[in-house]
Amino acid sequence: MKLLQINTIACDGSDVFWPWLLWLLGAFILGFLLGWLLKQLLGGAPAGPGGKQDLTKIEGIGPKIEELLNQKGIKNYNQLSNTTVATLEKIIHDGGNRFAAHRGMTLTWPAQAKLAELDEWDELAKWQQILKAGV
């Protein structure tokens, strides 16, 4: 006599646990990799304490002054906002005579950098409309 064999599927969901877990794990890894890739391609989030940012967005700082500040270790808005005006004046003074016209322009740089650091770009733009050559 032949035994009747019936294949059953559990109704408690235990038969779908591992496939779903693997799908979720795969989706998580794929999302993580895509996020990392986009960050690399688009520049990612604002730089942290050690990263470099575009200091020329500060009124009164051009490419040459940005280069001068970078040489002195000031490479982002956080560092610039925490630098005293006296230190900035010394950096400009030490830059030589070609930066003599920029002396005295450093008064607002730390405050502008703080707004940039806090992503207050609209407020910074309003203020920069008033500023002339960084003063």
pLDDT of 106 above 50: yes
Residue 48 has pLDDT above 60, yes or no: no
Name which of 52-61, 64-73, 79-88, 97-106 the model is least confident about: 97-106
Report DSSP letters for 68-127, one per residue: HHHHTT--SHHHHHTS-HHHHHHHHHHT-GGGGGGTTGGGGHHHHHHHHHTT-HHHHHHH
- pTM, whole model, 2 decimals? 0.60
**Res 133 pLDDT > 50:** no
pLDDT band, residue 16 (cuts 50/70/90): confident
Identify the structural domains of the chain with CATH numbers, from first to last: 55-130 (1.10.150)
